[in-house]
Structure formats: C-alpha cells, structure tokens
Amino acid sequence: MTNEEIESRAARAVDLFKQGFNCSQAVFTSCADLYGITDESLALRLAASFGGGMGRMRLVCGAASGMFMLAGLHNGSATPHDNTGKMENYALVQQLAGDFKSRYGSLICAELLGLAPKPQDPKPEERTQQYYQKRPCSEMIAEAVRIFLSSTQH
C-alpha cells in the first residue's frame, strides 16, 4: 500500500470521527474492507462498543481497540487450539500497542485525555467544534490507521 493510500484511509477515519462516530468505529471501519467487510453498517456496529475507552469507561483507547480488532481480521486464529496462530496475533497486538504507546505515552483513554479516572456517564458528549478542538482523538485515530497499515504491510 502506498503512503498516499495509507493517508487516504487515515483521512477517512478522521472524517468518520468528525461525522460523530467513535474512535474505534473510525479506525476499524476505515480498514475493514481490506478483510472483506464491505458492509459499512456492520463494521460500525462491530466496533461501536469500544468507543470512549470501552463503553465510555475511559479504559483502553478506542483508536487502539480499533487497531486490535483489525489485527484479529489480519491474523487472528479461528481454530480453538491454534497456539501458534494465537501467538502470532498476540505478537501483532503487542507490537501495535507498543507503537501506539511510544507515540502517546499510554493506551488508557483517561490518561490520553487528561481525565481523572472515575465512573463516566454513559451519555456521550455533544459533538461541537469545541469538543473536537479540546480532544487529541483525531490525531490518534489517523496515527492508529497509519500504525496498523504500516505494521501489516498492506
């Protein structure tokens, strides 16, 4: 995959986020077609629960979760006792996590957003211009797509 194609997918992910989809949906949906998931609605639903650090609990970053879901499509095992397959997938997930963490210092949504760890209201914040300006999410979404595509040599 060329750098131009990677950047196009990163831009598509940011666009999805700015349309109101969560971080995980944006990352996952921007690349799911590479693995035969061409129904965008299905891709969006599959990734829906991982936004806001998993259901807005501010745990694992949604952009990172989207990468990890893509890793499952890339080399996840579908055989119960395939320890080699599991190991290869876990190695990819650990590599992706390490790359993301080296860029941003954490995989934890609350830490990335500078929020105190506390129970979060499940109601999403209204998406306004101020919302997008105060959040580093767009940058992390684009970078998660770049990390994934570069690591898997598409």
- pLDDT for 29 beyond 90: yes
Domain residue ranges of the chain, discontinuous segments joined by + = 3-151
DSSP string of 84-100?
HHHHHHHHHHHHHHHHH
**Amino acid 116: pLDDT:** 77
**Amino acid 73: pLDDT:** 98
- pLDDT for 12 beyond 80: yes
Query: Between these two residues, 134 and 17, which has the higher pLDDT value?
Result: 17
| Whole-number Å distance between alpha carbons of 109 and 129 | 20
| Whole-number Å distance between alpha carbons of 37 and 42 | 8
- Hey, what are 67's tokens? 């990468």
**Amino acid 99: pLDDT:** 98
Picking from 16-30, 55-69, 87-101, 104-118, which range would have the lowest pLDDT averaged per residue?
A: 104-118
pLDDT (tens digit, 9 = 90+) per residue, 86-138? 999 999 999 999 999 999 999 999 999 998 777 778 888 888 888 888 889 99
Contact in structure between 65 and 146 (CB atoms under 8 Å) = no
Alpha carbon separation from 113 to 7, 23, 72 (Å, rounded): 24, 13, 26
| pLDDT band per the 50, 70, 90 thresholds, residue 152 | very high
